[in-house]
Amino acid sequence: MLNFAETDRLLRVWNAIKDSVDASLPFNVNNVKFSTHRFFVVYKTPDSEPIEYRPAMTPQCRLEQYRRKLRQLDSSDSAQSIFRSDGHTLQGIRRSLAVRQPSLVRFTWDEIPEPDKAIKEGRRLRTSENSRDIARLFEKRNNIEVFVATKVVEASPWTLSGSENIQISQLFVNNWAKGGNNSMSLSSDFRFAVKYVKDNVAWENSGTSKLGATYTSSLGMRTNDDVFDLASKYGYKASERWYYSVKNTFKTQLFGKYSNSDTAKVNPLSKFLSPAYIQFIFGMDYKRNNLSVLLSPFTSAITLVMDTANIDQTKFGVAENKRADIVNGLSITWTWRKQFTREISYNSDFEFFYQYYKKDGQKRFDWENVLELKVNRFLTTRLLLEIRYFENESSKFQIKENYNIAFTYSF
C-alpha cells in the first residue's frame, strides 16, 4: 500500500516509460490500476500476437523479436534516469513485483526455453523424440527477468492412437516338376485406442480387427484369420494406483469359416455373431506406467450363437433350443506395453475366466503376445503368438503363431 506521494511518483515514472518507448511499441494505460489506497503495476509486453509455444513449430525470430523490444525498454534514458535517482533499476522493480505481488506474475522470460537446434535451422523435431526434447527444453530456471504474457495451450484429455499392418504374399508356379499350387494371401491387422484421462476419471476404449485371406488354385478363397474385438473400460480413481473399474468386452468374427473339404461352402463352422463372446467385468484396476491389471470377483460372461439353423450351438456350450449361455465367475485381465528401444516393442494382452458354482465350470484363457521390430518408418517385422483355451470350444489348447514383415502405418 502506497501513499499519495508515492503513487504520484510512480505515475510520473510510468509516463516517462511510455514517452521513451518507440511509437511502434504502444502500452495500454488500462494495465495500470491505482487509487489512493492501492497501486498495482503490471508489466505488459509490447502489443503483438501471443506466443503459442510449440517446440516443433516456434521460430527463433519470434523470441528474438520480444528480446529486442524488451531491451529497448531497458535502455530508455528518461525512465532509467528516474529509477537511478531513487537507487532502483528496471530489473530490480520487476524482481520486487514478483516477490510482493506474485499473483500478478504468470510467466517469466526464463521459463520460455531456448529453441532446439532443429528449430533454429528450420527443421521439425522427430515425432518420436518430442517428449524427450520438450522435457529437456522446459528445465526449470532460477533467474527472474522479464514478465511475458503468453498463450497457454491446454493438453486435451483425449488421446487417439492406432496402427495398421498389411502383409501380402504371392506364389506362382508353371510346369514346376515338384508340383504346387498358385496362391496369394493378404492379411490386415488394425488396432486403435481412444483414451480420456482427466482428474480422477480414466476411460479407455480399444478395438482390434484382424483379417487374413488366402487364395489357392485348388481351394479358392479361404479366410485363415478373422477377429473383431471391442473393449471399453471406465475407471474412477480410488488411490494413487487403484481404480474402481467397469469393463465391457465384445468378441466375434466378420466372415464365415469353412473346412477345407467343404468346397461348396454350405456348412459354416462359424460366422458373424456365431459365436460372439460378451463380458461384463466389475472390479479394481491396478495401473502403473504401461501396465494395467484388472481383478474382478464378479464377471458375467455371455456366449451367443445367433444362426442356430446352420451352426450347432452346442459346440460352443449353448444348450439346445437356446441362442445364449450366461455364466458368472471371477476374472483376471492385464495389458502390458513395453518399449525396449525406439525400434523394439512388446505388447501383451491376457484374459482368464473361471466359472462359479459349478464343479466342472467353464475355464477360459486367452493370451496374445506381439513383438515388433521396426525396419524403418513403414516396414515392421512382427512376431505374433496367441495361446487360447476356451473349454466351451475345445478341450485342447489352441496355438496360433504368425511371423511376417508388414507395411505399417501408425497414428
264-281 tens-digit pLDDT: 788 888 999 999 999 999
Q: Tell me how many domains the chain contains.
A: 2
- H or E stretch including 222? strand 220-237
Domain assignment of residue 299, yes or no: yes
* Segment 206-212 mean pLDDT: 93
More confident residue, 109 or 301: 301
Among 31-45, 88-102, 121-135, 384-398, the least confident range: 31-45
171 and 82 belong to one structural domain:
no
pLDDT of the residue at 276:
94
The mean of the pLDDT values for the chain is 76
- Domain with residue 258: its CATH number is 2.40.230
Last residue of a domain, one of 85, 106, 137: 137
Are 122 and 166 within one domain? no
- The grid coordinates of residue 199 equal 482428474
Residues 200 and 55 occupy one common structural domain: no
CA pair distance 173, 164, nearest whole angstrom: 31
**Residues 397, 298 share a domain:** yes
Query: Is 172 a residue whose pLDDT tops 90?
Result: no
More confident residue, 74 or 235: 235
Question: How far lies 309's CA from each of 102, 195, 306, 316, 322, in Å?
Answer: 75, 40, 9, 14, 11
**Most confident option among 85-89, 147-151, 377-381:** 377-381
User: Mean pLDDT over residues 21-41, rounded?
Assistant: 39
H or E segment and range at residue 120: helix 117-120
Question: In this predicted structure, which of 123-127, 321-325, 364-368 has the lowest mean pLDDT?
Answer: 123-127
Residue 146 lies in a domain: no
The candidate with the shortest Cα–Cα distance to 339, out of 293, 289, 295, is: 289
Query: In sequence order, what are the residues at sequence separation of 6 or more whose Cβ sits closer than 8 angstroms to the Cβ of residue 291?
Result: 334, 335, 336, 337
Pull the grid cell for residue 286. 491396478
Task: Please say which residue of 72, 107, 137 terminates a domain.
Answer: 137
- Per-residue buried b or exposed e for 256-279, using 16+ beta carbons within 10 Å of the residue's own CB: bbbeeeeeeeeebebbeebbbbbb
Which helix (H) or strand (E) segment holds residue 329: the answer is strand 324-339
Q: In the predicted model, what is the mean pLDDT of residues 107-134?
A: 52
Based on the fold, state whether residues 117 and 36 are members of the same structural domain: yes
Shared domain for 277 and 390, answered yes or no, is yes
Nearest to 390 by CA among 337, 347, 327: 327
Q: What is the pLDDT of residue 183?
A: 83
Could you tell me if residue 127 is inside a domain?
yes
| Residue 101, C-alpha cell as written in the block | 505481488
| pLDDT grade for 289, boundaries at 50, 70 and 90 | confident
Domain membership flag for residue 362:
yes
- Residue 236, amino acid: Y
- Same domain, yes or no: 39 and 89: yes
**pLDDT score, position 408:** 87
Does the pLDDT at position 57 exceed 90? no
Query: C-alpha distances in angstroms, 172 versus 175, 215, 222?
Result: 10, 12, 18
Lowest mean pLDDT among 176-180, 188-192, 351-355, 375-379: 176-180
Lowest-confidence pick of 103-117, 293-307, 322-336: 103-117
Domain ranges, residue 329: 158-410
Average pLDDT over residues 174-200: 86
Q: Are 75 and 90 in contact (CB under 8 A)?
A: no
Lowest mean pLDDT among 103-107, 111-115, 292-296: 111-115
Residue 260, pLDDT above cutoff 70: yes
Kindly state whether residue 149 falls inside one of the protein's structural domains. no
pLDDT of residue 109: 61
Residue 147 domain flag: no
- Grid coordinates belonging to 272: 458373424
Do 194 and 313 lie in one domain? The reply is: yes
Residues 90 and 219 in one domain: no
Asked, for residue 150, whether it belongs to a domain, the answer is no
Percentage of the chain with pLDDT > 70? 65
Angle made by CA atoms 276, 228, 206, in degrees to the nearest 5: 110
Query: Per the domain annotation, does 303 fall within a domain?
Result: yes
Q: Is a pLDDT exceeding 60 seen at residue 59?
A: no
In the listed set 84, 103, 137, which residue is the last one of a domain according to the structure?
137
Q: Is the domain of 266 the same as that of 389?
A: yes
Task: Label residue 41 by pLDDT band (50, 70, 90).
Answer: very low
Looking at the fold, whether 182 and 126 belong to one and the same domain comes out as no
pLDDT for res 144: 39
Are 92 and 130 within one domain?
Answer: yes
pLDDT for the residue 330: 93
Secondary element (H or E) of residue 67? helix 60-74
Separation between Cα atoms, residue 29 and residue 146, nearest integer Å: 19
- pLDDT level of residue 217 (50, 70, 90 thresholds): confident
